[in-house]
Amino acid sequence: MSLIQIKDIGLMSKICPICIEDFTAHSFNLICNTLEGGHIFYTKISNASRYDDTEGIVNHCTNYLKHVNPEKWTWVMDFEGFGIKHTLGINTGIRLSKLINSFGKLQNLIVINVNPFVEQMLKLIKLTLNKEYHDCIHIIHKNNDLFLQQIKNWKTLDQHDKNVLLSLISS
């Protein structure tokens, strides 16, 4: 179990009944809160044992966002380990883009560890996002990415949390 998951265990009774039974079911965890990006959430699809549970994933994310109710938020989506079995989740991606549209307040959608297939899939999903969110999508390809350099200067309440954030997006 990762450090991020340990931090969220106590909240699952309020957020996701599925994750109370199986904490690996979904992947949407709060990492930290920053002045610039707001609350930072992290998803790694390949870590979710129920990656094909569209309804459960959407409910998990919706409940978490409603629980925190951030003024602004950033979502880091990690596609490391994303395989052909995950591609059937295009419907999940579309439903999550609708969640972004309805909840609002998204500052950044940071996408890491992509391959050409994932980039094509993201282009399809982008079509379902409101235009106001198109410019907040940042695909980070390398460690010296300009946006990644900006993130390194973001201010968090806890330096440890910032180190977790940077280790996740710099991998």
- Note the pTM of the prediction, 2 decimals: 0.90
Q: Is residue 127 very low, low, confident or very high in pLDDT (cuts 50, 70, 90)? A: very high
Q: Give the phi and the psi of residue 40 in degrees, each rounded to 5.
A: -105, 120
> Which three-class secondary structure state does DSSP give residue 33?
strand
Query: Tokens in use for 117?
Result: 């297939």
8 Å CB contact between 41 and 28:
yes
Tens-place pLDDT, residues 77-115 = 999 988 767 766 678 888 999 999 999 999 999 999 998
8 Å CB contact between 117 and 79:
no
Q: Give the phi and the psi of residue 112 in degrees, each rounded to 5.
A: -125, 160
Greatest distance between any 2 Cα atoms in the chain: 40
